[in-house]
Structure formats: structure tokens, C-alpha cells
Structure 1
Amino acid sequence: MLKVQNLYTSYRGIEALKDVSLDVGEGEMVALIGSNGAGKSTLLNSISGIVKSRSGKIEFGGRDIASNNPWTTAGCGLLQVPEGRQILADMTVLENLEIGETALHGRSRNYSLGYVFDLFPILKERSSQFAGSLSGGQQQMLAIGRGLMGSPQMLLLDEPSLGLAPIVITQVFDALRRINENGVTILLVEQNARKALEMTARAYVLDRGRIVFEGDSKSLADSPQMVAHYLGDVH
């Protein structure tokens, strides 16, 4: 579904991505992990069109999207849930979710408001509250729900567990598993390496702008050298 080939991206004068290639098949959930500053967010932003790559190819569903604007990429069904949630604090939960529908661009609606409320019941309970009054975990649920309202074929998720309590992390990852089982392809950038590897069958490790490992998640989790060098102790 997603194919990135030989991607180079410079960000604020620094070459952040160097000859990066990866692919994500339809229906997969694939992890992208690595240390802070490795270029993970830059890669997601390059795929979604927020940051323009210097060279290389990005294809989604067989279509070249490397030169797309972010809203054009979203309109193709490839949506990003950004790091830090970026919800609209002065609008209600319901209004934030409704804004997600602007990514449909004429495509069929596959995920309804009812589906989002079933996935995250707290959002239904607090639908009339200002989004800024929600807890961090609830805001993360809202950000994911807003992405679903755009009926994605694929989600790019950037650090969904960042800053959340363990019980909330479990709730968020359970929801991601359900979303994936319902047919949404996911590329997961995640600082919680153990969780990411548990959730996925395949993984990539990004280090200083380069892919240094690609393969099955279990092999990565079972490799003491790879874990110690790139990820810290995830066991």
C-alpha cells in the first residue's frame, strides 16, 4: 500500500533522512522505532507532505504522492495522527471529530461517529466539552478518532503513547489493534519500543536518518545487540 524508495529529506538545513526505503502492505501494522532525533517524525511528515523530500519516491496505492500537499495526501485516504495530538482546544470534542470529515474529499465514509464513540466511549460522554479540558489520554483518543472520521485506508501514528499513564497506554493500543483488525493499515512510530514490537509483525529501526534494521518484530526484540545499541532495554 505504501512504498518509500531512496528518500532524502533535509529539515532546517540538516539532512534528516538519507536513502530511506520502506514498505507497508495493505492490512499490516508496521513499527518504526529508534532513538530521539533519529528522523522518525520527519519521515512521517515527508510521507504526508508536511515536509518536502529532496529526492526519492513515495507511492501510496500505486500513486506517486511525493509532491502532494498534506490535504491532497489526506484526501487519498492516507492520514496522519501527529505527535502532541494537536487537537483544537477551544472547540468541542464533537466539533473536533467533525473537522476530521474534511479529509474525505468525496470518498465514501467508512467510519462513522458511532464507530468512534464505540471505540472510545469517553468521547461520547464528553462530546460537548471543550477539547482542551480533556486529559492527555482522552486528547490522544480524540486525535485518533478525528483521523478515523476521515475514513483512512492507512494511518500514520506518531508517538501515540507519549506522556500517557500505563493504563491509558493499554487502552490506546487496544483501540489501535481493533482499528487494524477492522482493515486500517498502520505505520506506527512509537517511543515505547516493547509495546510497538508486541503489536506488530514487522519493524524498521531508524538511526541518524538511515534504516539500520528491517525485518520481523520478534527478531528485533530477541536481538540483545540491536536492542542495546538502538533502543535501550525493552524487556
Structure 2
Amino acid sequence: MNVNQIVMIELLNAISKSNSKNKACTNNNSNVFDFVLQSTFNSILNDSPTCSCSCSCSNENQNKLNGLDTLLSNVNVSKVNNSSNINNAQKSNNKMDDAIKLLESQIGKPYVWGATGPKSFDCSGLVQYVYKNALGKDIPRVSYEQSKFGKAIDKKDLQVGDLIFFDTMNKGRVSHVGMYVGNGEFIHASNPKDGVKKSKLTGYYEKHYRGARRP
């Protein structure tokens, strides 16, 4: 829960309590708004929690002003932080969109063992090329090392851009990598026959699946 939500909840709770506990007092008060605001600050600042119904609460104005200043400062800081987080998330999403576009533009190019682009690729060379040129990230060169780099991701939590790994040589270790593009699909430099292609994470690839990483 962020600061805005906490402040709003506290204000609403305090106003509700003030209205219910001091209803008789507000009926005789010529300025209901000032009364409720005063009672609200009393509650938030942990000053006098109840009113004597004489409408002569003893809180000092300076304490209320300090409390208001603190609340407003926290709200403003929260707004700045939220705005920054939103902007960063948008930039990240835009970069990933560019990465997927770059990845998809490689479909149909030939598979060549040891190739790192831009005219041909092997599996690890392809994902390394996309991460470097679209996302500005340096990742290891070979699939086995890539499978130990970054954050491990459960299959159920896969997101677009995650690297997914396979044991295609039946040797008990990672030997192949692709880049997840959503909807249970990934793009990879598959083999010399098929080149760079899109495949589904089912059948053969589901059987040989060995995990995922988010660099």
C-alpha cells in the first residue's frame, strides 16, 4: 500500500470517527468543516482522541500545521516516485518491444554454429545479439553459461524476453536456448535445416525443457 492510500484511509477513518463521536457537537458548530478537519488532525497526530463537546480542543495550531506539512510532503514524494516508476516501466516495456521486433526480424536467417550475426546465428549467438543491440545488456556467449546468468524463473512465471533453455543433446546439461515471446512460443536459431524460427513450448521442446532465466 502506498502513502497516498494510507493517508486517504487515515483521513476517512478519522473523519468517520469524528462524525460519529461528535455528532451532537457538530450540530452546534457554525463551521462544520473546520471542526471535522480539527478532529481529523487530532486523530492522525494521536492528540486528544475524543472531544469534550465543548468544541474547545486543546491542540496547538503549529502541531496541526506540522502534521499537514508532513502529510503533504509524503504525498508529493510518493507522487514523484510513482511517476518515476511508471516512466521507468514504460521505458523498459518499449525496449522489450524493440527487442522482440529485432528478434522477429531475424526469422528465416540461417543457423551457423558459432555465428553471432547479423547474417547468421547459432542459438546463443542470436539471443546475445538481441540483448546487446536492443536492450543494451551483455550476457554470456554460450547457452550453458547463459543458463546460469540472471534470475531463475519458474515456467509458470515466464514473461516476454525471458531466456528458455533445453537439453537437446540428451547429455544432462543445457545445450540450446531460445527467447520467450509469449503465448507459449519462443524464437530460436534451431538447427542448420530450419534456421531462425518460432516454435511452441510443447512436444519435443517441452520434454527437453531445462529452465528459464531473466538476465
- Which structure ranks higher in relative contact order (CA pairs < 8 Å, sequence separation ≥ 6)? 1
**Structure 1 or 2: larger helix share?**
2
Q: Taking structure 2 as the reference length, what is the TM-score of the superposition? A: 0.27
Q: Taking structure 1 as the reference length, what is the TM-score of the superposition? A: 0.26
- Rg: which structure is higher? 2
